[in-house]
Structure formats: structure tokens, C-alpha cells
Structure 1
Amino acid sequence: MPENFLFATWAGGGAVPPVLSVARALRERGHGVRVLADRSLREEVLAGGAEPIAWTTAPQGDTADPAKDVIKDFEARTPLGEFARLRDRIVCGPAADYARDTLAELRARPADVLVTEHMLLGVLTGGEAAGIPVASLVTTLYPLPTPGAPPPGPGLAPATGALGRLRDRVLTRMMLRPWEKGLPALNAARVENGLSPLDSVVDAFDRVDRLLVLSPRALDYPGRRFPAYLRHVGPRLDDPAWAGELELPEGDAPLVLVGLSSSFMNQRGQLERIAEALGTLPVRGLLTTGPAVDPATVRAPGNVLVTAAAPHSVALRHAAVTITHAGHGTAVKSLAAGVPLVCMPLGRDQREVARHVALAGAGITVGRNASSRTIAHAVGRILHDPSYRREARRLASEIAAETATDQAVAELEALAGRATVGRDRARPLRRTRLPIRTRRGR
């Protein structure tokens, strides 16, 4: 039976394609799908067959244009500064605006399930106020602290012994504290919509019926324990609508695919050092700049083809190595193709993704300011040490098994089915989730 799904997302760079991939899959199964999103995403939403609905009062951004980027985390000088911009400009600061727009759309045209990108706590607030089932989509490794793993963010190795466990407890408290500066704005949005205030911003992420992690379980720590309502449903491997056609550099030398952020992170210097490094190696380079960097501004040697975009999933069939900022999308697509990585984290979740790739034995991490010589050395190690490709292929097998069926669609259809049963019985759906928890005692 066709159901109606309302999705919500924002111009968050690499977070957009996985969310729209799930929306497209539901649309292809005959469901009604609308997507609340920034106006800059209209064409991408339409390309997936869904109906675009623009935010009215919530922020409007365009990550392809640095001047229109809402967060502008590339202006931050520290990781804490990056985080504060995300908290204040997307997650908590405009929560009331996101809730208002979400509720207005639901009142105009009700939906069976609300599906939102994980960071939009204002959308979660609107869904809770509307009393409908809510699912959130995490488009990277699960980003909140859990037992059995180091606190996510800085890319720490798993703890060993009593001192390691003490490190994790102390750092978890330190990492959760900055969230609380966003609590007044979040609680104001909740009170405005008739909901009780919370004691912690982090608790707001728990107020969902399903939390779907669009990341391979095999890439996370084996002993990590997750909330009962969380499901690892596997990554989305589709290319974005703007990826275009594939053009490969000439020759038959090993292909190195280069892809840094699809949003602006001041990455032109890194791109040029990578191109310079590849010019010293017997390889072909396919360097994709993404929408935020003009390929004409990147100097490159003759064995490196520079282009704005390419379908990475197709290019990876030919690649021997990927050089990436360790954005989750590029990293996981590479691993799904059995291609090892050289990771150059620039910020955001990238240090964490790079750490997991390295711990899996499927790649090497270099610093964001690494010289062309260091980059070339890392590529050479990957090419000449078969263990990296072997471990990447191991992960590829596990990802293939995890994505053999569309678990995200199955979970959302099941959630919609519960809503339909509740509606047919003329009573509201009883939302089942764990009691709200505070993490102070963890």
C-alpha cells in the first residue's frame, strides 16, 4: 500500500546524496515522497523523482557557493569553532524555524512518516509535536558517544586498560559539554510547540522511533554498543545527480581517483599538492574538484585530468587508489569497490572516518598540510603493499552483503505500516522507544 513520506534535509554537502537516495528508493516503490530542503537542492530532489518543498523560515544555503554557505566552517580556526557553527547555525540555533516549517507542511499535507537528516533537531521537534512516527538518518559513522568505543570526533584509537577507559570517560564529558550552549534555543523551540524542555541537547537526538545509520557496520568498532532503536542499514552508494559522465585520463598506468569535499573547505591548496604528488609517480590521476572549486584554478601535471565532477562509483571500477579528505561518502564508495585510500582529513567527521579506515588496514592517513612528497610516498605504499587492497576487498565483501537488500527502505516501510495500523484503528500510533536518557552518568 503506498504511503506518504515527508523528508527533511539541508545543504550539508556529502550528507545530501544519501538522504535523497533513500527518498528516491521509496519513490521508485510507489510511495509519495516530498522533501523539505534548501532551494539550492531543488534540482537534486527533482532528479530523484520526489517533490521539492523549500524551507520558508529555516536557513537557506548553497555549499557550492562559499558566500551562501550557512555554516562557513571553513572560517573557523579550531575544531571547536567548526562544531559551534554547526550547533548554532543548523542543529540548535534555528530549531524553532525548522520546527515551524515542518509543522506547517504537515498541517497542509499530512504524512505517514517524517524522515530527517540526523542533525536537524528542529525537524525532530516538529515531528514530535505533530505526533507522527519519526526516523532520523545518520549519513556517517554514528557521531554520539556509546559504550564500547572512544568518544567520536578526534579519531582516537580504542582504549585499552583502566587508563584508556578513564581517558574515554573524561573526554566524553568534555565533548558533550559544548552541546549545552545550544540548549536554550532548542528548549525554546520545544516549549513553543507544547513540548517539555529537555535536560540535554544530546537527549534530543534520542527522541525518534528509528535511527538509521547509513554506514557499514563493518567499518565501526566491533564491541561498540548502540541504542535499541538504532539500525545499521548499510551505506548508499549512488552518485549525486550532478556527477555527470566519466572521462578517464589517457594511458594504462594505475588510476588514482582524487575527491575532496563537495562543499568549500579551502581545499584548493590540498588539491594542487595532490596533483603535484601524482606528477612524480607512474600513475594516471583523475582529480575531481566538486562544485565548490573551479577546476580551471587547479594547476596539474600532464598525467592528471582535472574535472569538476565524475561518477565516482564508475571511476572506482578502474581505480587502484583513492585520495580523499575522508568524507564518509567517498571513503565508503571506495571501500565498497575494494579500493584502498590515502586519507587527508580537513575537518568535520573526517578524522573519525580516516581513523576507522586506518584501523581496518584499508588505508593511510596524512595530515591536511602534508607535502606533495608525503602524499606521493603514501600513494606508493598503497600501490606496493598488497595488504591495503586485501583489507579493502574484505570490507567490500561485507558491504556487499549488508547492501544486498535495501534495509533503509524496509525499516521506513515498516514504520509507515505501524502508522497505518494505528490510523485504521482510529487511535494514534503508540511510539515505542527507550526512555529518554541523560548521559551525565556514562
Structure 2
Amino acid sequence: MSEILVVTWDGGGNVPPALGISAELQARGHHVRFLGHRGQAAAFAEAGVPFEAFSRARRFSSDEPSGTSTLMGVFADRKMGQDVVDSLARQPADVVLVDCLLFGVMDALRRSGREYAVLEHSFDGYFRRAAHGPLGLLLRLRGCRPLSLLDAGHPVLAATLDELDAGAGPVEHTGPVLADPPSGATPPPAAPAVLLSLSTFAFRSLVPTWQRVLDAVDGLPARVVATTGPAVDPALLRIPAKVEHHRWLPHADVLPEVSLVVGHGGHATTMAALAHDRPLVILPLDPKTDQPFVGRAVRAAGAGRTLSRRSSAVDIRRAIEDLLGEGPHRQAAARLGAKIRATPGAALAADRIEALPSARPTG
């Protein structure tokens, strides 16, 4: 049995793939524990996974709006890295698996002589492009060289579909890691239905984008289900009377009941929709994130359409009506869905982690 430490942060969609892989490892008899932000404690307790909160790292919550400077502070947080080194001194681990955005942690581990693996929860091609752009510059100004730190991971596991990952580097694609993935093709419902599912992260554009989407579906001759998540106060929204509103629903429960998903380009939601053969309308909420990259990949594959988050309700309505109909977008989504279902992401990632040598200090 191996001792495995997973280092995460309160980023929303980054956590489910790590939990999925940890569940697979635990089922194989390994001991897995997580280190993350204090606000994540309840979620990990509910999942039944040992969890330790950072003690030195700067406070952060995905429920609160945050700008680029705040996020860069999290990604380059060396106090977070020291928390990880201290945790390993108290309780050594054979393998340390680090979220791909925690460059301060990677830097601290490398300086302490400890090897680490990296878990990417989206497209590697996006992370490499971002490392050469403004985000990479901001990280370098904070003393972190993102690509050098990323590629020092042994291995770098990309929990995504390799076919969609344009510009990927030397990573190992495991396939998406989904909660309760479907075992086979999911036929569409007899009557048209739409799932509205934007981000659980408090992006500054979240509320106005939600309102335009809700206005777009007002009076739509279809069942509409909206999951607004923890970062939005529903009292701030005008929700049409016929829209079924929930703060949260498991994707595995609702996706078989809908024929189209309107999302923000979050990797987890997008892969879950495709795994159920559902096309998407994508409105990226933040141009600096992977969301536009995800949207372009889906559009290029013919499985959906991408609009600006500032698109009018009229334009959003038109895209929804177009994609509710039959067409090649349904065949494209079904093809990608079949490939995702044929790739057991959690099991492949666990296989690779089990094959790693001990990652304890070298001296």
C-alpha cells in the first residue's frame, strides 16, 4: 500500500478529477489524503477523504469574486508550498500529486529535493499557451517559471481527451475523469430539454451572463433546468416561471434528461455533457482561463457553438433553438461521447501513479 498526498485548491472544477482518481486508488488499497484550502474541508469530509487545511497559505474561496492578481497570488503561493513540505515532514508520502496550477507548491517541492506528479484538469495545450502569454509573465514576475515547473512533474497526467487537446506537450492523456460516467450511449429525451449550467466559481461576469441566458430561454418551448451553483445568489436573478431552478444537481442525474447543455466552457461540465452525447452552447466567462480554448475545441469538433458572454439574449436564443434540432452536431457529440466512455480516466491515472517509484526526499 502506498501513501499518496494530493495537493489541491478551491477552484471548483479542478477538484472532481482528483477525487475520482483518489477513489480509484483507495479502492486498490492505497491511502490517499488531500491538502487544500480551509473552505474545502466540508466537501472532503462528505466524500470521506482525509483532508488537511493549509495553515500558512493565503486565504482563498471560490465563492468570492477574485481578480487576476488574487489568483496569481494563489498559484505562486510559496507559503502554500511550505505547508506541503511541512505536511510531508510530519507524514511522509510515496507519491505527491499536485494540481497543475499550484506552481508555488511545485517550486517548493523541487527546492526540497522531492519529486512530484502533476494532474492537469483541462487541456495541456491551453496551459502551454497561457504560459507564453500574460498569465505566464505574471507568474514569472512572482518568481515561478510555469513550463519548467510543469514539465518537472513525473509524470504530467492530462485528464482530458487527447483528440481535443490541440498543442499538447509531453504529457500522458488519461481521458476525462467523471463522476458516475454513463456506461453506454444516452438517447435524447422524447421532448426537447435544456440544461443551463454555468460556473461554480465566482467570476465577475457570472451574474450578468446568467441573466442573459435566462432571458434567452424565457418562453422557450422546451423543458429548461437551471443549476445556478453556490457562487450566485438566486435573488439577484430574474428566473422565468417555467424554468426549473436548483442550486445544484448531480450531472449524472440530469444529463440523460436533456438534449442540449448551455455552459461556460468549464472542462468538467463540457466533458460530462459530451460523455452523455450532448452538444453544447458555450459562453466563456473569463477570456484568461481555459474556457475559450474548450469552446473552440468543441466548435472545431462540430459538437457545439461558442458565443461571447456578452451576446444578447436574442443571439443566445437563436443558438439554443438551432442546436435543439437535428443535425451533424448531434453525431459529432455522440462520436466524442463514445470515445470518452471508452477511456477509463480514473483507472488509467491510477495505473500510472501505482507505477511510480517512491517520491521521498533524495537527500
When the two structures are superposed, what TM-score results if normalisation uses the length of structure 1?
Answer: 0.74
Which gives a bigger RCO, structure 1 or 2 (Cα 8 Å, sep 6+)?
2
Contact 1:27 1:49 in 2 (8 A): no
| Partner residue, 2:92 | 110
What residue identity is the alignment partner of 2:282?
A: C
| Partner residue, 1:277 | 216
- Distance (whole Å) between structure 1 residues aligned to residue 314 and residue 126 of structure 2: 36
Aligned counterparts, 1:363-374, within 5 A:
363-374=304-315
Give the % identical residues: 30
Contact 2:159 2:345 in 1 (8 A): no
Distance apart, 1:296 and its partner CA: 3.8
Contact 1:268 1:298 in 2 (8 A): yes
- Distance (whole Å) between structure 1 residues aligned to residue 232 and residue 308 of structure 2: 21
Per-residue CA distance 1:182-201 (angstroms, 9 max, x = gap): 336436xxxxxxxxxxxx44
Q: Does 2:356 match 1:399?
A: no
Contact 1:24 1:49 in 2 (8 A): no
- Distance (whole Å) between structure 1 residues aligned to residue 346 and residue 61 of structure 2: 33
Q: Does 2:10 match 1:15?
A: no
| Partner residue, 1:169 | none
**Secondary structure of the structure 1 residue equivalent to 2:9:** coil
- Distance (whole Å) between structure 2 residues aligned to residue 205 and residue 85 of structure 1: 21
Per-residue CA distance 1:94-117 (angstroms, 9 max, x = gap): 2x2122111110111100010110
Q: 1:210 to 1:108 in 2, by over 3 A?
A: same
Which of 266, 272, 283 is matched with 1:333 structurally? 272
- Distance (whole Å) between structure 1 residues aligned to residue 146 and residue 227 of structure 2: 37
| Partner residue, 1:303 | 242
| Partner residue, 2:74 | 90
Contact 2:215 2:313 in 1 (8 A): yes
What residue identity is the alignment partner of 1:290?
A: G
| Partner residue, 2:149 | 204
Unaligned segments of structure 1, at least 5 residues: 74-81, 147-151, 154-171, 188-199, 240-250, 430-442
Q: Does 2:63 match 1:125?
A: no
Contact 2:20 2:346 in 1 (8 A): no
What residue identity is the alignment partner of 1:23?
A: S
Q: 1:375 to 1:176 in 2, by over 3 A?
A: closer
What residue identity is the alignment partner of 1:402?
A: T
**Secondary structure of the structure 2 residue equivalent to 1:100:** helix
| Partner residue, 1:59 | 58
Distance apart, 1:22 and its partner CA: 1.8
Distance apart, 1:216 and its partner CA: 1.0
**Secondary structure of the structure 2 residue equivalent to 1:364:** strand
| Partner residue, 1:31 | 30
Mean alpha-carbon deviation: is it higher for 10-19 or for 256-265?
Answer: 10-19
Distance apart, 1:257 and its partner CA: 0.4
Aligned counterparts, 1:154-233, within 5 A:
175-176=132-133, 179-183=136-140, 185-186=142-143, 200-221=145-166, 224=167, 226-227=169-170, 230-233=171-174
Q: 1:405 to 1:119 in 2, by over 3 A?
A: closer
Distance apart, 1:334 and its partner CA: 0.3
Which of 122, 143, 163 is matched with 1:140 structurally? 122
What residue identity is the alignment partner of 1:91?
A: F
Q: 1:236 to 1:134 in 2, by over 3 A?
A: same
- Distance (whole Å) between structure 1 residues aligned to residue 327 and residue 104 of structure 2: 47
What residue identity is the alignment partner of 2:272?
A: K
Mean alpha-carbon deviation: is it higher for 109-118 or for 210-219?
Answer: 210-219
Per-residue CA distance 1:13-44 (angstroms, 9 max, x = gap): 21122222222222232211111101111122
Distance apart, 1:274 and its partner CA: 1.6
**Secondary structure of the structure 1 residue equivalent to 2:309:** coil
Aligned counterparts, 1:415-430, within 5 A:
415=356, 418-419=357-358
Which of 272, 288, 295 is matched with 1:354 structurally? 295
Per-residue CA distance 1:310-366 (angstroms, 9 max, x = gap): 111221111100000111111110011100000111112111100000000000111
Contact 1:253 1:282 in 2 (8 A): no
What residue identity is the alignment partner of 1:375?
A: I
- Distance (whole Å) between structure 2 residues aligned to residue 295 and residue 335 of structure 1: 27
Q: 1:404 to 1:220 in 2, by over 3 A?
A: closer
- Distance (whole Å) between structure 1 residues aligned to residue 345 and residue 253 of structure 2: 19
**Secondary structure of the structure 2 residue equivalent to 1:35:** strand
Task: Give me the CA root mean square deviation.
Answer: 2.4
Radius of gyration: which is bigger? 1
Per-residue CA distance 1:123-179 (angstroms, 9 max, x = gap): 212332443431111111114576xxxxx46xxxxxxxxxxxxxxxxxx8xx44653
Mean alpha-carbon deviation: is it higher for 379-388 or for 358-367?
Answer: 379-388
| Partner residue, 2:192 | 254
Q: 1:395 to 1:209 in 2, by over 3 A?
A: same
| Partner residue, 1:47 | 46
Contact 2:255 2:273 in 1 (8 A): yes
Per-residue CA distance 1:380-425 (angstroms, 9 max, x = gap): 111224211110000001111112771111111111xx228xx8xx
- Distance (whole Å) between structure 2 residues aligned to residue 306 and residue 126 of structure 1: 44
Q: 1:121 to 1:405 in 2, by over 3 A?
A: closer
Which of 301, 307, 321 is matched with 1:380 structurally? 321
| Partner residue, 1:238 | 179
When the two structures are superposed, what TM-score results if normalisation uses the length of structure 2?
Answer: 0.90
Contact 2:24 2:346 in 1 (8 A): no
Q: 1:124 to 1:403 in 2, by over 3 A?
A: same
Contact 1:114 1:127 in 2 (8 A): no
Contact 2:125 2:168 in 1 (8 A): no
